[in-house]
Chains A and B, each alone.
Chain A
Amino acid sequence: MTDLQLPLTTLVRDMCAGTIDAASLLARYLHRIEELNPETHTYITVARDRASTERECLGQRETGALFGLPYAVKDLFLTGGILTTGGSRVLGEWVPEVDANLVSRARQAGATLLGKLNLHEMAHGTSGENAIYGTPPNPFDRGRMPGGSSSGSAVAVACGLASFALGTDTGGSVRVPASLCGVVGFKPSFGVLSRTNIIPYSWSLDHVGTLTRRVADAALVVRALAGHDPEDPGSVEITGAELNPEQADAARLRVGYPHAYVRARSDAAVAAVTEQVVAHLRQQGLPVTEIDFPDFPHVRTVSLTIQMPEVLSYHRRFLPDRLQLYSTELRAGLAFGQFILAEHYVRALRMVEHYRRVLARTFTEIDILLLPTTPVTAPPIGTEVLSAGGSTEPLGDVLTRFTALFNMTGNPALAMPCGQDENGLPFSVQLIGRPYEDAFVLALGEMLEAELGLLWASSYFDGGG
């Protein structure tokens, strides 16, 4: 195992102790990015100078929860002095003067910013394709899509081009690419991670999430970055201890699995591997109950009814002068938001309240809900509609089938690899907990990961892990 494959806690410990040289690790990442970025289109901007400066400042302290870790952010995060594009032509050559709150926190915790990662334009889409900056290929099959919108964030971690990455998740935009690329995607409870100075997609639904190799890595990063931010109206007060999986007893958790619900909505292979995960949990002595899960047939409609007017509202200031700089796809989406009526929007918010109450009842019987992350493995690049579980729908509707609900209800949700299909493409399972019980989700994820192991894309890591 190389340094690039070590658990982040081990890396931090060894860099603080001086047994791994942080400057050398940074240089290795920068070299790897230089070598692989032309083919992976992962980074829109590599912040080589800033990374070196941050690393030099670190040399004077040798401490911090994320000490020496080279990381990267989706290019929706503002970064002072560094180009910020949103994966679009709309912002031109915009160089903000300030950092996103989380970028500042990461620096204070000792992490080093490598650069800005590719995405579906302005987060509007789940395939992760980007005609302007190139589409990051799926690390397990270059002809397959990476998933989005945080495509670059997932591919960077999967290909060893960042030790961890941050993304945003409005309907599944962290968890879907994590699922398709074989890495861990964690969407904490709503408000745990600040959104200040991140280009929004939908204020009501946007969450910041992490892309990491391991569940424990996600726990480390979230604990280091969480904390109340008065500038973000959605921010919540939460302590690092409340996010600590070591303080949650995974062996006592009650897991619910909606067998019939998953079977009816997934590819047979996805349902089968999810049932294997259930079997693993039972072998470890956890009580896994088969539950009836509500149908929630209108989730996608409700989500769109909230998302589309909000994305239009944010982008409206650019439209008088820059409408033609948006892609055709995004322009169509913005126009979609224009013709949703206020009564529809209010009804959608009432539906969200309904969903929250129904889920709260479900979580009186269980502590963790187990679902697939996506009902299919990575589709070919260019796919627009696909079938899963007997219905043919637009790509975005299928890929977010198991994720979008939890952006409305705010539950913590962890996507983690759980095997590969006959073509070597990753499967992913999703663990969902009660709001602000993130530690339970992470604790069970760590227990499961010890059983299932990690996935390494052989094109990028010789000999796996």
Chain B
Amino acid sequence: MMPKNLVQRDTLERLIAEFPVVPWGPAELDDLVESRQVAITGFASYLLELERLAALDLGTLGPAGPLQYRRTRP
């Protein structure tokens, strides 16, 4: 899979204009394009990780259900 370009500010602005999402301001969008809040993974780094995750073949494996339903009732 070819790596995508890093997320662009105008992409996010168009999403905000066209999708039912929160009208994020310039500060939040700037942080998504180039993270200054470095205590968690920046959005751009995260997207690169997502690409690697998407490359995994999970076959027919379904999503995890609620854990407690697996428990044998006492």
Contact = CB atoms under 8 A, between A and B. Distances in A.
Nearest to A395: B39
Interface in A367-384: 384
Given A338-B22, A339-B12, A385-B38, A350 B46 contact: no
A459 interface: no
Interface in B1-41: 7, 12, 15, 21-22, 24-25, 27-29, 31-32, 35-41
A336 B73 CA distance: 39
B70 A338 contact: no
Contacts of B68: 190-191, 234-236, 410
Interface of A is mostly: helix
B43 A329 contact: no
A421 B12 CA distance: 46
Contacts of A335: 22, 24, 28-29, 31-32
B54 to A, nearest CB: 7
Interface stretch (A12-20, A130-138, A297-305): A297-305
B35 to A, nearest CB: 7
A301 B41 contact: yes
Interface of B is mostly: loop
A396 B39 contact: yes
A333 B54 CA distance: 22
A190 B67 contact: yes
A319 B22 contact: yes
Nearest to A239: B74
A187 B71 CA distance: 17
A323 B37 CA distance: 17
Given A304-B41, A385-B38, A396-B39, 4 more contacts: A234-B68, A312-B22, A335-B31, A394-B42
12 contacts: A126-B39, A189-B67, A234-B66, A329-B39, A346-B63, A352-B63, A352-B64, A353-B62, A394-B42, A396-B39, A397-B41, A410-B68
Interface of B: 7, 12, 15, 21-22, 24-25, 27-29, 31-32, 35-43, 46, 49-50, 52-54, 56, 58, 61-64, 66-68, 70-71, 73-74
Interface of A: 125-127, 189-191, 233-239, 242, 298, 300-302, 304-305, 312, 316, 319, 323, 328-329, 331-336, 338-339, 344, 346-354, 356, 384-385, 394-397, 408-410, 435-436
